[in-house]
Structure 1
Amino acid sequence: MLNRLLQLGFWNVGIIEKNLDDFFSSPDTIKIRWMKHGYRDRFFADPFPLNEDNHYYYILAEEYKYIKGKGTIVKLTVDKKTMRLIKREDFLETNYHLSFPFTLGEYIVPEQSKSGKAYAYNNGKVEEVCKYPLIDPVFYNYRGNSYLFSTLPSDNISDPNQTLYLFKRNSEGKYDLLYPNPIVNNISCARCAGKIIEYEGAIIRVGQDCTRIYGGGLSFEKVTSFEPEYSEEHLFSVSVKNQNKYNIGMHTFNLTNNGYIIVDGFQYYTRPLLKVAMHLKGLGVKNAK
């Protein structure tokens, strides 16, 4: 009990060196290579690949420093051979917590629901894309239309882990709510976990399985219709319980340029001095994001 009181939760970035064919044929046998770094006061989560070369992965991710109490977006350079973090660079910070840095062309649209709206960023340029406080927004173009999947902050109707909404881009380039009611009402798959996947003619949405805990695993859903009504079918779920490390949760799934898979994982570490410092600063504990 005392040990648990001295623990904090940490996410980390990992690579699955399989393509989608191998992954979909045996999702329960994944082997994850975790990023190695020396930071003990922060975690890295929500990885979105920027690009890569023969030696390195270049990744955008949330960096959450516990003593700071909010997330920022950083660029990580990770050695492919050793999975060691070679370089960490500040990429984007605002007055609000940032995470889930979705890449949209030359822009990134991070989750920053505390600001009350959603914004796209590109080299100092900021554009409002939606008047709603989106949580983990995912964009997808289909048959000439641009759609946006997102959950919304908790209220008496919406639960960010259970109710998913669909938006559509209007003539002014901003996104409006397409349906007044949630398109998915299911805590095992609603909240988005990464970009839409196109595989063998299917459109696959990856969601977070928050049944056990927030970000406890992944759920793969086949999208069968956008309009005049939305529908999807469950394919399978994946957890990290068989991994040696970071085996408590997983809530991001994206593809690298070479077709490998980038994910994140969660586990607890004992950090008594950091917890004392947080207590002295009056900061709450954020274990799972």
Structure 2
Amino acid sequence: MKFIELYRSIMQGVWNIGFVENTLDGVIDGEPLKIRWLEHECRDRWFADPFILDVTDDKIYVLVEEYYYPHKRGRLAMLTVDKASNKLLKVDTILELDSHLSFPAIIRRDGKILVYPENFKGGGLKLYDLDLEKPALVNARPISEALLTDAIYTELFGKKQIYSTEIPDPNGSTLGVYETDDAGKYVKVKEYHFPEKIARNAGDWFEYKGKKYRPAQESNTEYGHGISFQQIEETPDGLEFKELWRKSSPHPTMKVAFHTFNMYKGVMVVDCRGYRYKVAAGIINFFRRLFVKE
């Protein structure tokens, strides 16, 4: 047991976020990504699952999963980033529960900011108001009893829908479609099946120049290994997803995973994963390749 705990500790991941310098047209065309990675001095936590909250002349505000090592679980935070230097200026924890939190997806409605994070260990999907004065997520109300993973709400197709994978197969090949029942809760009404593990969302769906797009996670070999960037076509039978490109992490050293793409006000953000203990993890992986047949 102690050996297993030591192994897990050595192989523990660490994430960071970065801002894409390409144009959106360039991203859609599959150009090599040019990314400015967030600079920070935090050693007791990492940041992932970024969603752009706001952009000003000199700052970028980002909602993220903030994994705090002492608590061994994720919580949600708002990062204030200097736009010119890409340095982290401030971290405000906006929600912490006894269960893991991640993927703080945003809905902007009637001048309000609503957030519906992943919290399947807390039992279902909840919607919160973002109180910027505190700042904190407040007024939680359940919107689905399904154990959704990286859910995305959209009105791109003329109705209020949620698309998501769910427990027990969060990283698989089945994407569920959820609509409200008579009680106003989101329940599954349809499924889309992919030929590989690319069902899980990697960020908000969006429309650009009359075409609809979906960033998805590719998890064939590793959770969130890469991003599958898909164009969505509407047909009489439903939606079709055409992959435009697939990319793994472009970070020089953090190569394990690359699983979020979001944008707002012309700023695009991604994340990547490496190892907390790079040298030790590298040695273990070297011997695994020698002696273990995948």
Where does residue 88 of structure 2 map in the other structure? 85
Where does residue 282 of structure 2 map in the other structure? none
Where does residue 246 of structure 2 map in the other structure? 237
Matched letter for residue 21 of structure 1:
D
Give every structure 1 segment of 4 or more consecutive aligned residues whose post-TM-superposition deviation is greater than 4 Å: 2-5
Where does residue 278 of structure 1 map in the other structure? none
* 3-state DSSP of counterpart to 1:14: strand
Do the aligned partners of 1:225 and 1:232 also contact (CA within 8 Å) in 2?
A: no
Q: Write out aligned runs for 1:61-100 (5 A).
A: 61-100=64-103
Do the aligned partners of 2:28 and 2:244 also contact (CA within 8 Å) in 1?
A: no
* 3-state DSSP of counterpart to 1:195: coil
Q: Write out aligned runs for 1:31-110 (5 A).
A: 31-105=34-108, 106-110=113-117
Matched letter for residue 188 of structure 2:
L
Do the aligned partners of 1:161 and 1:214 also contact (CA within 8 Å) in 2?
A: no
Q: TM-score, normalised by structure 2?
A: 0.82
Do the aligned partners of 2:156 and 2:206 also contact (CA within 8 Å) in 1?
A: no
Do the aligned partners of 2:170 and 2:200 also contact (CA within 8 Å) in 1?
A: no
Matched, 1:249 2:252: no
* 3-state DSSP of counterpart to 1:145: coil
**Residues 187 and 165 of structure 1: CA distance in aligned 2, closer, same or farther (over 3 Å):** same
- In structure 1, distance between residues paired with 2:146 and 2:207: 27
Which structure has more relative contact order (CA 8 Å, sep 6+)? It is 1
Where does residue 190 of structure 1 map in the other structure? 199
2:141 paired residue among 122, 127, 133: 127
- In structure 2, distance between residues paired with 1:209 and 1:66: 26
Q: Write out aligned runs for 1:99-248 (5 A).
A: 99-105=102-108, 106-122=113-129, 123=131, 124-154=138-168, 158-170=169-181, 172-179=183-190, 182-225=191-234, 228-240=237-249, 242-248=250-256
* 3-state DSSP of counterpart to 1:18: coil
| 1:256, distance to aligned residue in structure 2 (A) | 2.9
- In structure 2, distance between residues paired with 1:143 and 1:270: 45
- In structure 2, distance between residues paired with 1:148 and 1:184: 16
Question: Percent same amino acid at aligned positions?
Answer: 32
| 1:208, distance to aligned residue in structure 2 (A) | 0.3
Where does residue 13 of structure 2 map in the other structure? 9
Do the aligned partners of 1:135 and 1:153 also contact (CA within 8 Å) in 2?
A: yes
* 3-state DSSP of counterpart to 1:83: coil
RMSD: 2.3
**Residues 226 and 99 of structure 1: CA distance in aligned 2, closer, same or farther (over 3 Å):** farther
Where does residue 283 of structure 1 map in the other structure? none
- In structure 1, distance between residues paired with 2:122 and 2:159: 27
More off after superposition, 114-123 vs 53-62:
114-123
**Residues 214 and 226 of structure 1: CA distance in aligned 2, closer, same or farther (over 3 Å):** farther
Counting matched residue pairs gives: 263
Do the aligned partners of 2:218 and 2:226 also contact (CA within 8 Å) in 1?
A: yes
- In structure 2, distance between residues paired with 1:186 and 1:151: 15
| 1:3, distance to aligned residue in structure 2 (A) | 10
Matched letter for residue 231 of structure 1:
E
**Residues 33 and 249 of structure 1: CA distance in aligned 2, closer, same or farther (over 3 Å):** same
| 1:187, distance to aligned residue in structure 2 (A) | 3.9
